[in-house]
Amino acid sequence: MNEEKFHRDPEEYAIFKRLNNKQFSKRPNDIYVTRKTNFKAQLERCMKLISSNGNYRDICIHGMGSALQRTINLALQFQLKTNCQLHTAISSIEVTDHLMPLLDDLEPTSDTRWVSTIHITCTLPTILTETK
């Protein structure tokens, strides 16, 4: 790993990180957490999904890489508010780095890395649904 990083000299190569657009599930109750999106807005979105206009009994929160922490944080915050049950699964996903040369006598190459992901399923308690 260290060796790879060594020859990725910013003077020589420009790195383009790309996500393999494997089929991610795109149900309305899937939430993908990014580092850029406002945390409060993400929480709001979760709340909206279980409220009357979304009316979902369970939502899935996905996160990957450096957004793992945020994902867990979001799930916990959501739990605090709704007292839901959390079910966590972890996996890893393959991503591609394209290395485009910046100097004339270099060949372009591409790298693959494995990035860990987390999928948290939040299920609302059944009592709550009955009261509602």
Partner 1 sequence: MVRLTPEVIEVAPQYLNPVGQYELSLRDLKLPVIENLGATLNQFDTIDLTNNDLRKLDDFPYLPKLKTLYLANNHITRIAENLDKYIPNLDTLILNNNLLQVLTDIDPLATLSKLAHISFARNPIAMLKDYRLYVIHMLPNLRTLDFNRITQKEREAACKIYKSKLNKKTKQKQKNIKTFTPGEELVKPQTPRMTKKVADAIKKAITEAKSLEEINKLTAMLQAGEILNQNNSSSIDQEEHTAVVHIADLAHARAQELHSLLYELGHRQEKHRTALQILPRYMRRRAASYNIKRLPRSLRPLADPKTGTAKKKRPSRRYRRRPRDLLASYTNRQRKIKWLKTHIWHAKRFHMNTLWNYRLAEKSNTKCVRPTYKSLHERCLIHDMSYYGCIELEGDEEEIIKKLTPLFPSSNTNLTPKAKMYLNGQFEGQCLVYKPHTKECLTPISFMWMPSNDKQKRKLWLWCHPASYDTLAQILFSLFNTSLSTTTTTTEEPPVKKQRNDDGDQESVTITLLRDQQQLTRFRLIGPLSMAILKHALHPSMLPNDPIERKTAPFAWWTNEAHSNDKHQQQLHFWNSNIGNTSTLMPNRIISLVVRDPRVFTPIKPKLTIHTKTNIEKLETSPPSSVDLASSPLWIEKYRTHCCENKLATYQINLFRSKTLTTDSKELQLNEEESQIPLILIHHHDLLSPLSQYQQNRNDLGSGWDIILPNEWAQIFWISLIYSGARPIGQKELSLIAHETGEFQFPQEYPDTDAGIAWASKIESEQLTHFSKCPPSKRPNFFINGINSPFRPLWINIVHDWALEYDPTNTMMPSQRFYVLRDRNRLSIETLQQHLHSLVPIRVSIKDHKGVIDNTALIYLPTVDDLKTNKKTIVESRHNDQARIEERKMKKAKQTYKRGQTMIKLIEQRTNNNEQAIIHDCDRKILGAMTSGAFQFSRACCTGKGFIATGGLLTLLQQQQKKKTTKKEFQRVLVRTTTSQYYHWASLEF
Q: Is 116 in the site for partner 1 (CB under 8 A)?
A: no
Among the candidate windows 1-9, 70-78, 90-98, 119-127, which touches partner 1 by CB under 8 A? 90-98
Looking at 51-59, 67-75, 99-107, 117-125, which segment touches partner 1 (CB under 8 A)?
99-107
According to the binding rule CB under 8 A, does residue 3 interact with partner 1? no
CB of 88 to partner 1, least distance (A): 25
Report how far residue 4's alpha carbon sits from residue 112's, in angstroms, rounded to the nearest whole number. 11
Tokens of 57: 């009994």
What number of CA atoms fall less than 13 Å from residue 117's CA on the CB side?
A: 17
Tell me how far apart the alpha carbons of residues 119 and 77 are, in angstroms, rounded to a whole number. Answer: 15
* Neighbouring C-beta atoms of residue 110, cutoff 10 Å: 11
- Sites of contact with partner 1 (CB under 8 A): 14, 16, 18-23, 94, 96, 98, 100-110, 112
